[in-house]
Amino acid sequence: MERTRHQGMAKNTYMRWRLPLVCLLWEVAMIVLFGVFVRFSPEADAHWEEEKQEMNLTSDMENDFYFRYPSFQDVHVMIFVGFGFLMTFLKRYGFGAVGFNFLLAAFGIQWALLMQGWFHSFKNGKILIGVENLINADFCVGSVCIAFGAILGKTSPIQLLVMTLFQVTLFSVNEYILLNLLHVKDAGGSMTIHTFGAYFGLTVTRILYRPNLEQSKDKQGSVYHSDLFAMIGTLYLWMYWPSFNSAISEHGDAQHRSAINTYCSLAACVLTTMAFSSMLQKKGKLDMVHIQNATLAGGVAVGTSAEMMLTPYGSLIVGSISGIVSTVGYVYFTPFLESRLHIQDTCGIHNLHAMPGLIGGIVGAITAAAATEDVYGKEGFIKAFDFTGVYQTRTPSVQGGFQAAGIVVSLLMAFAGGAIVGGILKLPIWGDAASENCFEDEVYWEVPEDEESDVYHMHNPDKPASP
Amino acid sequence: MERTRHQGMAKNTYMRWRLPLVCLLWEVAMIVLFGVFVRFSPEADAHWEEEKQEMNLTSDMENDFYFRYPSFQDVHVMIFVGFGFLMTFLKRYGFGAVGFNFLLAAFGIQWALLMQGWFHSFKNGKILIGVENLINADFCVGSVCIAFGAILGKTSPIQLLVMTLFQVTLFSVNEYILLNLLHVKDAGGSMTIHTFGAYFGLTVTRILYRPNLEQSKDKQGSVYHSDLFAMIGTLYLWMYWPSFNSAISEHGDAQHRSAINTYCSLAACVLTTMAFSSMLQKKGKLDMVHIQNATLAGGVAVGTSAEMMLTPYGSLIVGSISGIVSTVGYVYFTPFLESRLHIQDTCGIHNLHAMPGLIGGIVGAITAAAATEDVYGKEGFIKAFDFTGVYQTRTPSVQGGFQAAGIVVSLLMAFAGGAIVGGILKLPIWGDAASENCFEDEVYWEVPEDEESDVYHMHNPDKPASP
Amino acid sequence: MERTRHQGMAKNTYMRWRLPLVCLLWEVAMIVLFGVFVRFSPEADAHWEEEKQEMNLTSDMENDFYFRYPSFQDVHVMIFVGFGFLMTFLKRYGFGAVGFNFLLAAFGIQWALLMQGWFHSFKNGKILIGVENLINADFCVGSVCIAFGAILGKTSPIQLLVMTLFQVTLFSVNEYILLNLLHVKDAGGSMTIHTFGAYFGLTVTRILYRPNLEQSKDKQGSVYHSDLFAMIGTLYLWMYWPSFNSAISEHGDAQHRSAINTYCSLAACVLTTMAFSSMLQKKGKLDMVHIQNATLAGGVAVGTSAEMMLTPYGSLIVGSISGIVSTVGYVYFTPFLESRLHIQDTCGIHNLHAMPGLIGGIVGAITAAAATEDVYGKEGFIKAFDFTGVYQTRTPSVQGGFQAAGIVVSLLMAFAGGAIVGGILKLPIWGDAASENCFEDEVYWEVPEDEESDVYHMHNPDKPASP
């Protein structure tokens, strides 16, 4: 270990004052802002009894809590266990993967409650929050977790917090443009979460390009058990994705339909991923990297359209294609992006989020453009696309056009935002590690001496015990 | 590793064309069949607003989604994380356990939606699917995961897919006979899922008997961390089993009661398992194999009766007995089955699913036969056993007889089906490994060079880095 | 291993007759008592159809099952996976952590259903159980899991069962005094679960003080992968804590509000924990012990007040403070408690549960005392504190006083109960291990020979295979 430590001295990765300062200042700011702005929504406020009478509700069951809380918890698991453990595949970066993901997400959801609140839940000078706000905050932070995947192992915790601060802000602006100005549907966030998050992260990692990263190449792989830990993340993301895509859909059929479409898409995606993983490897063996990641592309790719009448077979088609695209991406595009475009994408988010996110946006635009009153029913048609008020006269094909515009806006926001934030993160004050110490927990974490050999085989009884 | 690889050449385990071909052909078939047959149920269709008015429903809460979705997600976790991780106990088959389980389940749920749909949700030439269909598809695939436990480590992924195709088909036929023709109650699937799945799998493994399996005996055990991974599977199965047994019960009291009975049975089962695990071992130490498996027998054994008025103390009795039977099975029956009957049962599904499944079927028959209007109430009695229409005059004791008949039918289907499918899987075209390479991920997976020693202790800095 | 085994002989840790005897006797007692006392609540009984008509309910959705079951399952995961895996951080006590936690919790929930049933659900000579009773039983056992954290690695399974028996009993008495006699609010159990459980466990471990515990100091740390397993526990506790604190709150706004307050508190807690973990270490590196534990203090500290109008910013303040207190506790108090007060607290429950539990009780008292009709609304005020019947005239400040009294009662019960139970556990008949064999699974578990070296590197092909 001495070697690692000494070389680490080349760059100042000392966090003792910087990290606490950022965290504490931030938390104080949150307390002040929450104190000024954040209150409970009527459904979470103790005045609910009066609210119920006013709204003529006969049952507590009508509280939005019961429509959305189970989905919220599933989404919560995806953000913290799903993304956290998915990234533990690196042999010596498990603490950083799960720990920094924990840190940035906990940091980000507070800021997201404020930012999204100002845009969407602001009433009489107060942000009124309920369970749907919690889901949206988790969603917003999800896009940061995605971007984290591109720079995993190469950044300091402070860089992650700075990135989170800016990305949450930009996410909220982009989301506002899409949902409110363009009146776009994107319940599962193919555009707002995946396309935006992934291209943002890819732009950041491009700007933070490390020419000497091959110095830590020996640590940029997995070991047997770290691949199993990563599968915990994969499976929770895969299983709960139907909840993700349906969590903020309209009550009733829309939530129901989103879950079914996503379930179908993901099932198909597993098969095409396995097929191409085996096909693209000379020995025909399956590659854990593909199974851990590309199997999830089906969830991303129906993010926009899941609540529409995509139909189960439509979902199978989208899922199948996205699994293929994603696996092919891991085999051919990732090396290309690294060698030619200098985009070092640790987790391959280009394959798991960027391309499937684009597919998702396009499928959403097509599905919206193809919608008819016949398929949706008269009321269902209006409800599905919220063609009320000023949007009363919008036609499906116009909606499709706006959906497509949403993709473009998300891309532009991602590239511009990523470039600016990447530039900020390049400043030499954030404490990132030298290239030969990337992908190594030792830099920012107290790592236990590995005493396995001692305890298991007792072959070295003289070695001093770990503290 | 060279040794393993060379010996593996003895049998052709090359998957490069076979596995992709099967997966892709299958997925195309699914897309075509879904396109022809599968549509949304009225509760997931955009016409739901009209449906609501027709059915005079006042709240979106009445959508079946809200009655069943939380249970569905728990069942989903059991199938993918529960079964998947339970089987990671083998020291060198974690990728295969969790990865092949993922593959076969994703493959199977699509086919199950069709098969079960044709039998149960077919209307005007279309299969109408909603959340209950998703649960049933997961259930159906659960029986395949069970059978997988018997042949774990000894079959190629293609064999698993072929088995899944046939087993899902047979499961659906058997389920149709039981639920529709015999009018049997089996909400938690003691008969349809566990008895059928386990005896099917045992028959298959009997036919695939490998006389030289002791050549890979060194890999047929666990290591310290693989046992902990397996405990993840165990606990998720154990915790969510109340959701499994109640997921498709009638709304209201039946779901509520199923969960309580299952909770009680499982709690009791842990205690008797621990007791017998310690008692049956000379040194009195606990055996992880028992804790990982036999603690779950209580869930299996109340699968049929959980939604009946089994009562909490009845559940404790059933749970206690099944824990004892299962643990005794691991200690005495499994070696007997292997040495005398040539049944090589990798995970001991005979102890965890077959015997407790039979207990479950019998307890269900007795509980049904003992039902009275006094205990259930007049309306509750009719509702619990669905004694309406042509079954209006069926008495409890007759119902008990039919329940018993359901066990017999399930067994016959399992033996006959398992024999045929086992025969098919014995064909030398599916790419299974030689006996000395069983229980070894290296055969079908890219396994990372284990670099732990390098990274941790730096004792071999010259070794080339892993790719 | 021989060394360990031989020294273990110094104390009789042989469980073969003792453990089965205790488990089986106990299970028989449970069956008899359940047979005499326990029946289904009306909402889980087959007479529900009649009940519905009597209560004029129009929908099965009004069954308490649908209000609480999702939260119940989350709580269930916290008890079995959350606590179980949180304690797997020790390098050689993973089986004991997750396995004994499983044993004592399965044992305890049955006894808790009875004890709490007699106090709270007793009607016409029967205990009527529904989903809320399952949640409460899990809560009660949670306090035992907490106490287990203090004595982890130093006690035999029989000692754990004896402790569980007594602690569940005392918990129920204490809970009855607080909830029924003092009419205190404590939905998330800051007082009843955390304060009581933690000080009970600390008292027990004080009495079981082992002066020679440093003999097993080499095993009292973590290894790399055991820290990752522990993070599974941490994250599930953290994510599901909003469900824990809201699980038994009143339907509607109270459940909704509890979840939001807890979510906010936990998010803040992560930031202050990270800040102080880095700040208090000379090299500024993060310590996994803090991340695994102190990040959860925010959930404990809003346990009493989460269902009150604590408000989101109030929650941020409480969460921030508890993260600081808890982290400081790990760095300074734990060593002090061990060296000066002879309190050997394996998991640091003093920092995670005791101090934050006290904070939670105090915050609850203040929040209650500060309540006004203005903030809660007329009806909401009465509903929140249940100021009906004999409590109709109780004022907020009086309620605050009673809340404070609840803390004192919980502490007294914990100290007195812990002293007595500690004394009982000190008897030399329970089979605990010698101090040099603490924190070692080998004592009570069949531990697989570690064959990793063989399988991975094949450097010792002559070694006999594991059984």
Query: What are the C-alpha distances in Å from A117 to residues A23, A38, A75, A433, C286?
Result: 22, 8, 19, 36, 32
Of B263, B380, B450, Cβ closest to residue C456: B450
Residue B169: pLDDT above 90? yes
Q: Which residue has the tokens 């851990």?
A: A292
Q: Do C23 and B218 touch (CB under 8 A)?
A: no
The pLDDT, as a whole number, for residue C11 is 78
Strand B126-129: give its sheet, edge to edge: B38-40, B126-129, B122-123
* Residue range A379-433, pLDDT digits in tens: 999 999 999 999 999 999 999 999 999 999 999 999 999 999 999 999 999 999 9
Q: Which residue has the tokens 């990290």?
A: A19
Q: Do A15 and C251 touch (CB under 8 A)?
A: no
CA distance B5 to chain A (A): 12
* Residue range B263-292, pLDDT digits in tens: 999 999 999 999 999 999 999 999 999 999
Chains that touch B (3 or more CB pairs under 8 A): A, C
The pLDDT, as a whole number, for residue B450 is 66
The pLDDT, as a whole number, for residue B4 is 43
Of C20, C44, C451, Cβ closest to residue B276: C20
* Residue range B92-117, pLDDT digits in tens: 999 999 999 999 999 999 999 999 99
Asked whether the beta carbons of C295 and C324 are under 8 A apart, the reply is: no
Residues of chain A with Cβ-Cβ distance to C287 below 8 Å are 445-446
Q: Give domain A70-427's CATH superfamily.
A: Ammonium transporter AmtB like domains (1.10.3430.10)
Q: How confident is the model at residue B12 (pLDDT cuts 50, 70, 90)?
A: confident
The span from the CA of C379 to the CA of C377, in Å, is 6
CA distance C227 to chain B (A): 12
The pLDDT, as a whole number, for residue C450 is 66
Give the DSSP per-residue string, A310-369.
Answer: --HHHHHHHHHHHHHHHHHIIIIIHHHHHHTT----TT-HIIIIIHHHHHHHHHHHHHHH
CA-nearest residue of chain C to A43? C253
* Residue range A399-410, pLDDT digits in tens: 999 999 999 999
Q: Do C80 and B235 touch (CB under 8 A)?
A: yes
Residue type, B183: H
The span from the CA of A167 to the CA of C29, in Å, is 59
* Residue range A150-203, pLDDT digits in tens: 999 999 999 999 999 999 999 999 999 999 999 999 999 999 999 999 999 999
Residues of chain A with Cβ-Cβ distance to C383 below 8 Å are 46, 49
Query: What are the C-alpha distances in Å from A336 to residues A198, A324, A332, B257?
Result: 17, 17, 6, 58
Residues of chain B with Cβ-Cβ distance to A257 below 8 Å are 40, 44-46
Hey, what's the torsion of the CAs at C277, C280, C284, C288, to 10 degrees?
-30
Per-domain residue ranges of chain B:
70-427
The pLDDT, as a whole number, for residue A11 is 78
Of A92, A98, A107, Cβ closest to residue C231: A98
Q: Do C252 and A31 touch (CB under 8 A)?
A: no
Write down the mean pLDDT value for chain B: 93
Asked whether the beta carbons of C233 and C71 are under 8 A apart, the reply is: no
CA distance C39 to chain A (A): 27
Q: In chain C, what is the greatest distance between 2 CA atoms, to the nearest angstrom?
A: 81
* Residue range B290-340, pLDDT digits in tens: 999 999 999 999 999 999 999 999 999 999 999 999 999 999 999 999 999
Of B31, B80, B131, Cβ closest to residue A256: B131
Residue B398: pLDDT above 50? yes
Which candidate in A19, A78, A227 is best for mutational testing of the C interface (most C CBs within 10 A)? A19
Q: Do B80 and A313 touch (CB under 8 A)?
A: no
The span from the CA of C101 to the CA of C142, in Å, is 10
CA distance C101 to chain A (A): 22
CA-nearest residue of chain C to B75? C73
Alpha helices in A177-252 (DSSP H): 196-207, 224-246
Residues of chain C with Cβ-Cβ distance to A73 below 8 Å are 70, 74, 239-240, 242-243
The pLDDT, as a whole number, for residue A5 is 44
Strand C126-129: give its sheet, edge to edge: C38-40, C126-129, C122-123
Nearest to B44 by CA among A195, A376, A228, A345: A376
Q: Which residue has the tokens 């989460």?
A: C306
Residues of chain C with Cβ-Cβ distance to A50 below 8 Å are 377, 379-380
Size of interface A-B (CB pairs under 8 A): 248
The span from the CA of B254 to the CA of B309, in Å, is 9
ipTM: 0.94
Q: Which two tokens stand for residue A239?
A: 């299983």
* Residue range A67-102, pLDDT digits in tens: 999 999 999 999 999 999 999 999 999 999 999 999
Residues of chain B with Cβ-Cβ distance to C57 below 8 Å are none
Residues of chain A with Cβ-Cβ distance to B131 below 8 Å are 256, 259-260
Q: How confident is the model at residue A10 (pLDDT cuts 50, 70, 90)?
A: low
Residues of chain A with Cβ-Cβ distance to C376 below 8 Å are 46-47
Q: How confident is the model at residue A44 (pLDDT cuts 50, 70, 90)?
A: very high
Share of chain B above pLDDT 90, in %: 91
CA-nearest residue of chain B to C84? B235
pTM of the model: 0.95
Q: Do B255 and C39 touch (CB under 8 A)?
A: no
The pLDDT, as a whole number, for residue B452 is 47
Residues of chain A with Cβ-Cβ distance to C218 below 8 Å are 451, 454-455, 465-466
Of C24, C80, C134, Cβ closest to residue B260: C134
Give the mean model confidence (pLDDT) for residues B238-262. Answer: 97
Nearest to A69 by CA among C415, B109, C71, B91: C71
Of A61, A275, A287, Cβ closest to residue B446: A287
CA distance C48 to chain B (A): 6
CA distance C414 to chain B (A): 26
